[in-house]
Amino acid sequence: MSTEGVDEDCLGWAARDASGTLSAYKFSRRALGNDDVYVKITHCGVCYADVIWTKNTFGDSKYPLVPGHEIAGIVEKVGSNVHRFNVGDHVGVGTYVNSCRECEYCNDRQEAYCEKGFVNTFNAVDTDGTITKGGYSSYIVVHERYCFMIPKDYPLASAAPLLCAGLTVYTPMMRHKMNQPGKSLGVVGLGGLGHMAVKFGKAFGLNVTIFSSSIHKKEEALSLLGADKFVVSSDQEQMMALTKSLDFIIDTASGDHPFDPYMTLLKTSGVLVLVGFPSEVKFSPANLNLGMKSISGSITGGTKETQDMIDFCAANRIYPNIEVIPVQYANEALQRVINRDVKYRFVIDIENSLKT
């Protein structure tokens, strides 16, 4: 396969400034390298990260900015050294598209913790000096290491959210052995990440309790997602009834919230895993020390975990709950993400809505 540059322009939707408003945008991708895969994007999930960087929340946004790091699509070309993928394969691309490939973490397939820092799928400086642009676009060129096989009988629209929301909860669940049938799991927050934690928990054979600030999610949590219990986190009586009852808690909430009430729910040697980003974490040392408990942090996962997670979802028929939208609805979707008005992940139908 030739490695000459791709002539056609890439179509996308980009934010031009901190208003975060997206509109149509044309740009060029890098040339297809010997180790690269050219992916026609069919679907892209909408993540809160898209809100953060389109609106320059951290002051490091590089405009024009094309968001999107939950990418699913079809291989259209491969570089001469690529043997893992063939034209026509269904693939996914997640939150990063490069890493140093030399440090102990990369060697251990834990690229998310690369010592030199991984290259984000959008709004980062790539190896050729260009700024990476994400999945709200017609195609992407990516090194084969950061591309993942999606079984052809698994819907591409459903696969997209696995690449961030699914992986972010799957990785710490596996690391902390939350896949032991009969154990008890608490899930704090019922958004894109939380609902996937519930699905994984049930697939692992766990007893799952959802903690939410909204009673309105109760019926759906129990009937649709199959949780065993639903607790309104502000109800002290309900919370106290579960004292020392949980082996694990996975906390997906990024808003500020108290941690002591959850620490008291853990059994001796229980683990609370934090995957959200509240502004601070405060709890009584007694709630940690006296019960031999642990609190752990996690972000996304490495390349091996990503493929394992996709394969697990395909084998167990685990599908995110999604709302498929056209790219023209992206601005409204991002506002609804801010308003927490999503059940439970937006997925943009790039293939059928992103046109010239």
The string of pLDDT tens digits covering residues 64-100 is 999 999 999 999 999 999 999 999 999 999 999 999 9
| pLDDT, position 4 | 47
* Backbone angles phi and psi of 316, in degrees to 5: -105, 5
What is the rounded CA–CA span in Å between residue 205 and residue 49? 31
pLDDT score of 21 more than 60: yes
Mean pLDDT over 19-39 rounds to 96
pLDDT score of 2 more than 50: no
| pLDDT, position 8 | 57
What is the rounded CA–CA span in Å between residue 11 and residue 23? 11
Distance set, CA 35 to CA 142, 335, 348 (Å): 8, 38, 28
Hey, is 52 helix, strand or coil? helix
What is the rounded CA–CA span in Å between residue 124 and residue 131? 5
Hey, is 188 helix, strand or coil? strand
Q: What is the mean pLDDT of the chain?
A: 94
| pLDDT, position 343 | 87
Cβ partners under 8 Å of residue 118, min gap 6: 95, 96, 98, 99, 111, 112
| pLDDT, position 356 | 65
Tally Cβ neighbours within 10 Å of residue 277.
Answer: 13
What is the rounded CA–CA span in Å between residue 312 and residue 200? 9
| Segments of the chain assigned to CATH 3.90.180.10 | 10-164+321-353
pLDDT score of 5 more than 80: no
- List the one residue out of 18, 43, 6 whose CA is nearest residue 136: 43
Hey, is 331 helix, strand or coil? helix
Mean pLDDT over 233-253 rounds to 94
- Could you identify the residue written with the tokens 């939350």? 178
| Segments of the chain assigned to CATH 3.40.50.720 | 166-297
What is the rounded CA–CA span in Å between residue 327 and residue 348? 6
At 92, list the tokens: 């996914």
Percent of the chain with pLDDT over 70: 97
Cβ partners under 8 Å of residue 351, min gap 6: 40, 41, 42, 43
| pLDDT, position 318 | 97
CATH class of 10-164+321-353: alpha beta
What is the rounded CA–CA span in Å between residue 22 and residue 330? 7
What is the rounded CA–CA span in Å between residue 260 and residue 269? 15
pLDDT score of 50 more than 80: yes
Alpha-carbon Rg for the chain, nearest whole angstrom, is 20
What is the rounded CA–CA span in Å between residue 31 and residue 355? 22
Query: How does DSSP classify residue 20?
Result: -
Cβ neighbourhood burial of 129 (10 Å; 0-12, 13-18, 19+): exposed
pLDDT score of 133 more than 90: yes
CATH code for residues 166-297? 3.40.50.720
